[in-house]
């Protein structure tokens, strides 16, 4: 009898792709289950899934409340989590970018020349890391949604936010000027589970990696 | 039963809160007793293995404690000034003070030295998995012995420690920094690239490793050695596979050491608890040889960590090889809780009430001398109030003195004992 494995999945942006990918691999059943259940059974009796807010996924995994998890690199790097990251998964591609109002693109060609930058973002840590690495100390305005509003209403000069197609930015008159992080979904594992449930964790990693094609875009990391 | 809750509520309003700083906790009742019980079991075990106690100061010069500490640990130190403006720090671990002691004071005394310690260390970290910023460590350092015999002894003692604490099914994961250092020699990378490689291995991230290898243009056996490192993990055959990817003498010597250690831990009959992982490169910056961590089921974080640090003593005096480990007692407490390890009783065995006559005091003292834990309750006016008190505090036995007689309550039964016949406390 294999050891039980609990995997944390992020609700929201990555949820659909994650479910589809896990179904393709044969770990999750195709049929939609009760939409409200927070713990759903897997396609095999020794696996189940916990649905959590994306930012909570690495917390569950780091503490061992879930053995493994799927989360965006953006969320993972925003915190500082002590987990293993054996695989990048072929979905959830996006970038964390600095965007400025269209009419000020020229003014922000050099971020260095703006000593009193106000930056609205949902990612204060990654934003600070990016600016600090350039010797800049902007004022961070932490928001929890609709960051694009910041420059429109004069709350911030620029924003740092996730960009997938760029449509939201365009619609709000913003232009991407720097990329902080290329993000995509990543498989994470608890350090103790990786040791104590070695066979099952390895099995899941191997099964998932077989379904990652040669042409899937891989390798997202901090741009420096 | 007297409802003590009602009387408490009637007589007292909740006092205003007195918050503690983030990261420190009050340890009392079961928690305090359990912590001390762990310490005393470990202390006895370490003594049986010939280790002697070292009680380091709680704080010393920050410079000293920064020696070999690495940027992470240095960043986690609590620093403050003394009146002369010198910078002091609370000890963030016990190994550095031990290395200082031996290197600067005991350097000319016959080796090996064996030390154990137990007590709080202080790290300015985000409280993670129930770890306060003041947390308790017990551990050992074996100084002045460099061979696989010393490594094997300390590994075996690590296993024995976790067993002694009532834990089972745990795993010690054994890494070898010397193997990784040999790989770094062969790769000859810039310091920043070494850090990037270490980070990718820390995360066990195949994609990150592949990206680095491509960026550096590694080919052939160099490429092979890096890519296979995270898979050099498990038991049977790992050393043979590692032999195939070993690129130089340093790497081969590191594997020879592991083979010799394997024989020693086998002799101690603890090999079954140990898993090799040559891709494990985390741990304290001062590690030079083997490193190891202990994992317990259902606890997401390691309870024990250790390794060989052959260069640390040299920072304080004549060089001495050294190896040791520390157990994080806060996590042991949690593991014992999860795995339902029987708890030590923390209250007295017997609660005594009634009149306090010289005869009664003598009886109580007799019981204490024979090893019973006995306390007086002066606040109970009747035997039933005493029984209620005993029940609230889970005290198994109550004795109510009434001149020449005693009422004894044990497992719910009450009986009368004449005092001139027997001591009802024994």
Q: Is the peptide bond before B379 cis (omega within 30 degrees of 0)?
A: no
Residues of chain B contacting A209 with CB distance shorter than 8 Å: 206
The answer to whether B204 contacts A64, with C-beta atoms less than 8 Å apart, is: no
Shortest alpha-carbon distance between residue A15 and chain B (Å): 22
- The answer to whether residue B396 scores a pLDDT higher than 60 is yes
Facing residue for B129 by CB, picked from A63, A86, A221: A63
The answer to whether A195 contacts B234, with C-beta atoms less than 8 Å apart, is: no
The answer to whether A64 contacts B298, with C-beta atoms less than 8 Å apart, is: yes
pLDDT of amino acid A224? 39
Distance CA B224, CA B246 (A): 10
The answer to whether B300 contacts A190, with C-beta atoms less than 8 Å apart, is: yes
Could you give the strand order of the β-sheet that contains B87-90, starting from the edge strand earlier in sequence? B59-61, B87-90, B79-81
Distance CA A131, CA B123 (A): 27
DSSP B95: H
Token pair for B402:
């009434």
Interface of A with B (CB under 8 A): 61-65, 80, 82-88, 189-196, 198, 209, 218-219, 221
Does the beta carbon of B127 lie under 8 angstroms from any beta carbon of chain A?
Answer: no
The answer to whether A85 contacts B203, with C-beta atoms less than 8 Å apart, is: yes
A68: closest chain B residue by CA: B300
CA neighbor of A224 nearest in space, from A126, A78, A101: A126
CA neighbor of B365 nearest in space, from B425, B276, B301: B425
Q: Would you report the helix, strand and coil content of chain B in percent, each value rounded to 5?
A: 40, 20, 35
Distance CA B39, CA B138 (A): 7
- The answer to whether residue B16 scores a pLDDT higher than 90 is no
CA neighbor of B424 nearest in space, from B403, B394, B400, B392: B400
- Per-residue pLDDT band for A222 (boundaries 50, 70, 90) equals very low
Shortest alpha-carbon distance between residue B170 and chain A (Å): 8
Distance CA B11, CA B53 (A): 48
Residues of chain B contacting A50 with CB distance shorter than 8 Å: none
Look at A218 and B278; give whichever has higher pLDDT. Answer: B278
ipTM above 0.85, yes or no: no
- Per-residue pLDDT band for B286 (boundaries 50, 70, 90) equals confident
- pLDDT tens string A132-185: 998 888 999 999 989 999 998 999 999 999 999 999 999 999 999 999 999 999
The answer to whether A63 contacts B211, with C-beta atoms less than 8 Å apart, is: no
The answer to whether B275 contacts A195, with C-beta atoms less than 8 Å apart, is: yes
pLDDT of amino acid A220? 47
Distance CA A193, CA A86 (A): 13
Q: How many CA atoms lie within 13 A of B321 on its CB side?
A: 12
Instruction: Give, in order, the Cα–Cα distances in Å from B3 to each of A6, B7, B271, B377, B409.
Output: 44, 7, 55, 17, 19
pLDDT of amino acid B374? 97
A5: closest chain B residue by CA: B298
Distance CA B290, CA B346 (A): 39
Distance CA A100, CA A173 (A): 8
- What is the residue whose two structure tokens read 């001591």? B423
pLDDT of amino acid A38? 86
Domains of chain A and CATH, by start: 5-92+184-210 (3.40.190.10), 94-182 (3.40.190.10)
Shortest alpha-carbon distance between residue A100 and chain B (Å): 31
B277: closest chain A residue by CA: A195
- Rounded to the nearest integer, the mean pLDDT of chain A is 90
| Beta bridge mates, B234 | B276
CA neighbor of B50 nearest in space, from B121, B164, B136, B154: B154
A88: closest chain B residue by CA: B207
- What is the residue whose two structure tokens read 């949690």? B334
Of A41-45, B71-75, B190-194, B345-349, where does mean pLDDT reach its minimum?
B71-75
Distance CA B82, CA B84 (A): 6
| Beta bridge mates, B61 | B88
Shortest alpha-carbon distance between residue A193 and chain B (Å): 7
- The answer to whether residue B127 scores a pLDDT higher than 90 is no
Distance CA B256, CA B268 (A): 19
pLDDT of amino acid B285? 80
Residues of chain B contacting A195 with CB distance shorter than 8 Å: 171, 173, 275, 295
Of A179-188, B197-206, B362-371, where does mean pLDDT reach its minimum?
B197-206
| Average pLDDT for B296-312 | 93
The answer to whether A84 contacts B205, with C-beta atoms less than 8 Å apart, is: yes
Domains of chain B and CATH, by start: 21-170+296-346 (3.30.930.10), 173-277 (no CATH), 351-418 (3.40.50.800)
């Amino acid at each position: 009898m294999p050891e039980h494995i609990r995997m944390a999945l992020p609700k929201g942006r990555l949820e659909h792709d994650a479910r589809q990918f896990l179904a393709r691999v044969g770990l999750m059943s195709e049929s939609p289950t009760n939409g409200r259940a927070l713990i759903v059974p897997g396609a095999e009796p020794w696996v189940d899934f916990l649905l959590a807010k994306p930012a909570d996924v690495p917390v569950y995994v780091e503490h061992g409340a879930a053995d493994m998890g799927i989360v965006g690199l953006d969320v993972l790097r925003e915190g500082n989590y002590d987990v293993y990251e054996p695989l990048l998964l072929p979905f959830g591609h996006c970038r964390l970018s600095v965007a400025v109002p269209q009419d000020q693109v020229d003014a922000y060609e050099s971020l260095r020349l703006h000593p009193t930058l106000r930056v609205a973002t949902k990612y204060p840590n990654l934003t600070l890391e990016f600016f600090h690495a350039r010797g800049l100390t902007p004022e961070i305005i932490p928001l929890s949604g609709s960051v694009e509003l910041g420059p429109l209403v004069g709350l911030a000069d620029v924003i740092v936010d996730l960009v997938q197609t760029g449509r939201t930015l365009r619609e709000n008159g913003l232009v991407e000027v720097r990329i902080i992080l290329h993000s995509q979904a990543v498989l994470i594992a608890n350090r103790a589970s990786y040791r104590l449930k070695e066979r099952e964790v390895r099995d899941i990693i191997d099964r998932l990696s077989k379904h990652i094609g040669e042409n899937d875009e891989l390798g997202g990391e901090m741009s420096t | 039963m007297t409802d003590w809750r009602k009387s408490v509520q009637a007589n007292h309003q909740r006092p205003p809160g007195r918050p503690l700083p983030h990261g420190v906790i009050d340890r009392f009742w079961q928690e305090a007793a359990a912590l001390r019980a762990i310490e005393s079991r470990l202390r006895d075990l370490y003594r049986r293995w010939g280790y002697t106690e070292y009680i380091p100061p709680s704080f010393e010069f920050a410079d000293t404690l920064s020696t070999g500490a690495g940027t992470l640990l240095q960043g986690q130190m609590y620093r403050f000034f003394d009146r002369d403006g010198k910078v002091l720090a609370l000890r963030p671990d016990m190994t550095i003070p031990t290395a200082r002691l031996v290197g600067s004071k005991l350097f000319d005394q016959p080796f090996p030295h064996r030390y154990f310690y137990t007590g709080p260390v202080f790290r300015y970290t985000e409280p993670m998995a129930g770890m306060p910023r003041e947390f308790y460590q017990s551990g050992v350092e074996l100084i002045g012995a460099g061979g696989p015999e010393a490594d094997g002894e300390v590994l075996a003692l690590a296993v024995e420690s976790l067993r002694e604490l009532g834990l089972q099914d745990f795993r010690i994961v054994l890494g070898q920094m010397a193997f990784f250092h040999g790989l770094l020699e062969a790769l000859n990378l810039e310091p920043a690239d070494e850090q990037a490689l270490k980070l990718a291995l820390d995360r066990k991230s195949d994609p990150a490793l592949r990206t680095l290898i491509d960026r550096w243009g590694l080919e052939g056996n160099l490429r092979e050695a890096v890519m296979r490192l995270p898979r050099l993990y498990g038991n049977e055959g790992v050393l043979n596979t590692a032999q195939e990817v070993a690129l130089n003498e340093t790497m081969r010597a590191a594997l020879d050491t592991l083979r010799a250690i394997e024989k020693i831990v086998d002799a101690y009959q603890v090999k079954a608890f140990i898993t090799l992982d040559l891709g494990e490169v985390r741990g304290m910056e001062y590690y030079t040889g083997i490193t190891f961590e202990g994992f317990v089921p259902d606890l997401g974080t390691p309870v024990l960590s250790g390794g060989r640090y052959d260069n640390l003593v040299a920072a304080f005096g004549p060089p001495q090889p050294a190896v040791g480990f520390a157990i994080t007692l806060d996590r042991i407490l949690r593991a014992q809780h999860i795995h339902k390890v029987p708890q030590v009783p923390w209250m007295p065995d017997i609660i005594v009430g009634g009149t306090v006559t010289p005869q009664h005091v003598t009886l109580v003292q007799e019981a204490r001398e024979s090893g019973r834990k006995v306390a007086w309750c002066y606040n109970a006016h009747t035997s039933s109030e005493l029984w209620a008190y005993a029940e609230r505090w889970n005290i198994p036995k109550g004795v109510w003195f009434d001149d020449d007689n005693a009422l004894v309550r044990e497992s719910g039964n009450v009986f009368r004992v004449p005092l001139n016949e027997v001591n009802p406390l024994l």
